[in-house]
Amino acid sequence: MIDEKAIEEHIRGILAALGDDPEREGLIDTPKRVAKMYTEIFAGMQYTNHDIAEMFGKVFDEVRVSGNNVVVMKDIELFSYCEHHLALMYDMKATVAYIPKGKVIGLSKIARICDMVGRRLQLQERIGCDIADIISEITGTEDIAVILEGYHSCVTTRGIQKTNTKTVTVERRGKFLEDAALQLYLR
């Protein structure tokens, strides 16, 4: 469970450490607002991949699918926060593809999985791996690909400050590793 009171106390301390007065008019409610924001944006930290699979695991297993079907969702918007700097990963988009094995997951569930996985402190590479693990647990398929592209404020606004640098990560499993024709779906 996220401890909002502890977050409030720490934010007050950070404000003071930055040399500002946490009791001044503009900052007096900032610790409470930040605690509520953190509860929302880090909601995924309260759940394991298995928990998320159970939350969004509704499948349609009486759907007739041939061995040639590929399900692809593109441009799923999400965000996350880098675990190294607590910096925002933004303008992120996911492409999730899988080959059904007798059952399919609702399309809105794929987007919800991406959203919930993003709401954790982590690395972009892990987001793709976690999404693939959850989709695999729900659908029973190992034939999955997850592509993520986005900007990291730890690169764009601090350190090297390369404002147009986009990071792309690709998690491919099963037939997506072996079959070159499947790569066409991922573009």
In the set 8, 114, 152, 171, the catalytic residue is 152
In the set 10, 82, 137, 149, the catalytic residue is 82
10 given a catalytic annotation: no
Chain centroid to Cα 124, Å, comes to 8
Query: Are 110 and 96 within 8 A, CB to CB?
Result: yes
83 given a catalytic annotation: yes
In the set 23, 83, 125, 183, the catalytic residue is 83
Query: Are 113 and 127 within 8 A, CB to CB?
Result: no
161 given a catalytic annotation: no
In the set 8, 114, 124, 171, the catalytic residue is 124
- Residue 15 CA to residue 27 CA, distance in Å, equals 8
In the set 154, 161, 171, 183, the catalytic residue is 154
In the set 9, 46, 85, 183, the catalytic residue is 85
- Residue 57 CA to residue 156 CA, distance in Å, equals 36
Nearest CA to 151 among 102, 109, 93? 93
**What are the structure tokens assigned to 52, written together?**
């998320």
The most distant pair of C-alpha atoms in the chain lies apart, rounded to whole Å, by 64
In the set 9, 23, 54, 84, the catalytic residue is 84
Active-site positions?
Answer: 82-85, 124, 152, 154
